[in-house]
Amino acid sequence: MIRVAIRENNPSGEPDPRGRIMYVEAVPFTTYCEDVLPNEWFPSWHPEALKAGAMAVKMFAWYHHLHPVTIDGFTFDVDNTTNFQHFQEMSSQPTTNAAFQAIQKLAYTKPNGEIAELNYSAGYENDPNWQYRNAQKMAQWGSEYWARRGQNYLQILQFYYQNRALMRLP
């Protein structure tokens, strides 16, 4: 389970990163990841880009589950906005679910096994987004760029995140 703070929506109907916290919901971890990925990566993207995205979403969530915060009396791991990751209930898609299932039994950690936050940002379309490489941050558009050029999800992750190891989970 992961604790998700649900914030009020802005006038356009989107969750407001500055909105007040209305409640905290406990969501099964897999469900959470499957309801984040299609809101952070386009479901129509290359499967290898989606797998790289699934790993980033998973490790970001796992890290924050281990480091909860308390705001306005609410203790939670993440919220439903871009403050953390854009979570929208019941938004999972077949392509993004398949990507998450493909990496579900794996973790991308520091070499000693420590869970590390995998940050990401949009980046620029049709560009490798080299500027993110030294920042230990993956570009979402960059993951698609590399996947379309034949890189698999692990090669994409290795490009953006140095000094990490792929580990099999029990």
In terms of residue numbers, what domain contains 57? Answer: 2-86+93-168
Across all residues in the chain, what is the average pLDDT?
97
pLDDT for position 159: 97
What percent of the chain is modeled with pLDDT above 70?
100
pLDDT for position 68: 98
- pTM score: 0.96
- CA–CA separation, 90 and 68 (whole Å): 24
Identify the residue whose tokens are 């897999």: 30
* Cβ–Cβ under 8 Å, residues 153 and 48: yes
Per residue in 113-169, pLDDT tens? Answer: 999 999 999 999 999 999 998 789 999 999 999 999 999 999 999 999 999 999 999
Q: How many structural domains comprise the chain? A: 1
- CA–CA separation, 16 and 111 (whole Å): 36
